[in-house]
């Protein structure tokens, strides 16, 4: 890599890093303000709020890096234009496509860093943050319905009224059916604790069986219960799909498919993570056309502002297309890749137009 390329990447990296830190502080401040309203619930004090905000930081990396890459690239290129360094690069024979390649390299580097944080730190820290808050406020995990969480397990339907932060279960109902979907048994338990090898230890169990002879009720102090339901699956309730690790997403998608349930939202999150390395270079390429102006012509602030609007448009279009895709059952991979392809085409078209001028 030549001297000019190293200099360009250094300038872009420094500017993007500075913007990233500024946005991270801003997002953390918003988290802090948002959590202050929960102070005083149980033992949720200032120390717990501060720790919650700290643990939430890795989860923001995925959201911040693309925007920071775009704004940082805009500022770096604008500074090079102001100092006439960009003109020197152009006169020295560096083409638009070579500049695009340099920015693409920087974009992939940023993407790899963000993906490492998103895969290895964010899921753990997000889960730890939610558990901390739930324990301190003496709450239970958010439930899917007012009647609790419902999970299909083969020919049985499991209803759990409470999922504790340690993923132990409370107020459990298991409805077992035969192959004709006739109700065979209802098992109720006060709580359940995970053991291992797909085994739960149920406590204070009441078993109601429906047979040709009538209804039979049996009570037990403890009972082992084998189920596909596991702490890994329950942990999905603590972490948004977009912040889950890829292996956990894959396991949960497989679990949903095995039980004939919809997987669109989780497949969308999976494909978004898979295509994430391409989103950041697209954002950086989007900044390149805004650098082609004369420093004497002015309007630099306007061009930077328009570039930021383009980046926000990319971010919002990703969310909009994702929601529309979920509503209309579009293929997840197509929904996830469409905004990136559109803005990549826009960036490439702009660069080609500038090349012909």
Cβ atoms 189, 172 nearer than 8 A: yes
Residue-by-residue DSSP string for 308-327: HHHHHHHHHHHHHHHHHHHH
Residue-by-residue DSSP string for 221-279: EEEEEE-S--HHHHGGGTS-GGGS-HHHHHHHHHHHHHTT---HHHHHHHHHHHHHHHH
The pLDDT score that the predictor gives to residue 98 is 86
The pLDDT score that the predictor gives to residue 324 is 92
Distances (CA, A) of 28 to 7, 32, 125, 291: 32, 6, 14, 31
The pLDDT score that the predictor gives to residue 152 is 81
Find the length of the chain. Answer: 357
The pLDDT score that the predictor gives to residue 15 is 92
d(CA 286, CA 284): 5
pLDDT tens for each residue of 53-98: 999 999 888 888 888 898 889 888 888 888 888 878 877 778 888 8
**Token pair for residue 349?**
């078209």
Cβ atoms 291, 78 nearer than 8 A: yes
The pLDDT score that the predictor gives to residue 16 is 92
User: The tokens 């009538």 sit on which residue?
Assistant: 214
Looking from the CA of 324 toward its CB, the CA atoms found within 13 Å total 11
Q: What does pLDDT average to in each consecutive run of 10 residues of the chain (357 residues)?
A: 83 92 93 88 87 92 86 87 80 82 89 88 86 74 63 85 77 91 91 86 92 87 86 72 84 82 87 84 85 62 75 84 90 90 88 77
The pLDDT score that the predictor gives to residue 26 is 93
The pLDDT score that the predictor gives to residue 142 is 46
The pLDDT score that the predictor gives to residue 24 is 93
**Token pair for residue 48?**
């717990």
d(CA 228, CA 154): 9
């Amino acid at each position: 890599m030549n001297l000019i390329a190293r200099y360009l990447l250094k300038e872009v990296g420094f500017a993007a890093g500075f913007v990233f830190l500024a946005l991270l502080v801003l997002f953390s401040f918003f988290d802090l303000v948002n959590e202050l309203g929960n102070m005083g619930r149980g033992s949720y004090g200032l120390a717990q709020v501060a720790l919650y905000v700290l643990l939430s930081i890795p989860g923001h990396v995925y959201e911040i890096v693309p925007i920071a890459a775009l704004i940082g690239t805009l500022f770096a290129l604008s500074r090079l234009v102001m100092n006439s360094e960009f003109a020197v690069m152009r006169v020295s024979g560096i083409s638009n496509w070579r500049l695009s390649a340099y920015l693409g390299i920087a974009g992939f580097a940023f993407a790899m860093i963000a993906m490492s944080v998103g895969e290895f730190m964010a899921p753990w820290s997000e889960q730890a943050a939610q558990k901390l808050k739930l324990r301190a406020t003496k709450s239970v995990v958010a439930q899917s319905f007012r009647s609790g969480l419902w999970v299909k397990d083969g020919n049985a339907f499991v209803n759990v009224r409470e999922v504790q932060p340690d993923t132990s279960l409370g107020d459990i109902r298991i409805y077992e059916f035969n192959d004709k979907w006739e109700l065979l048994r209802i098992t109720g338990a006060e709580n359940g604790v995970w053991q291992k090898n797909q085994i739960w230890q149920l406590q204070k169990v009441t078993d109601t069986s429906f047979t040709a002879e009538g209804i039979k009720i049996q009570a037990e102090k403890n009972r082992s219960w084998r189920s596909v339901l596991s702490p890994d699956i329950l942990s999905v309730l603590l972490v948004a799909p977009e912040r889950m690790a890829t292996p956990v997403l894959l396991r949960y998608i497989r679990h949903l498919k095995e039980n004939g349930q919809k997987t669109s939202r989780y497949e969308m999150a999976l494909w978004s993570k898979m295509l994430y390395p391409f989103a950041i270079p697209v954002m950086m390429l989007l900044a390149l056309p805004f650098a082609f102006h004369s420093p004497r012509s002015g309007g630099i602030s306007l061009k930077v502002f328009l570039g930021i609007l383009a980046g926000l448009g990319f971010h919002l279009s990703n969310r909009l297309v994702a929601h529309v895709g979920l509503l209309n059952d579009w293929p997840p991979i197509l929904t996830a890749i469409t905004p990136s392809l559109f803005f990549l085409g826009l960036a490439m078209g702009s660069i080609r137009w500038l090349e012909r001028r």
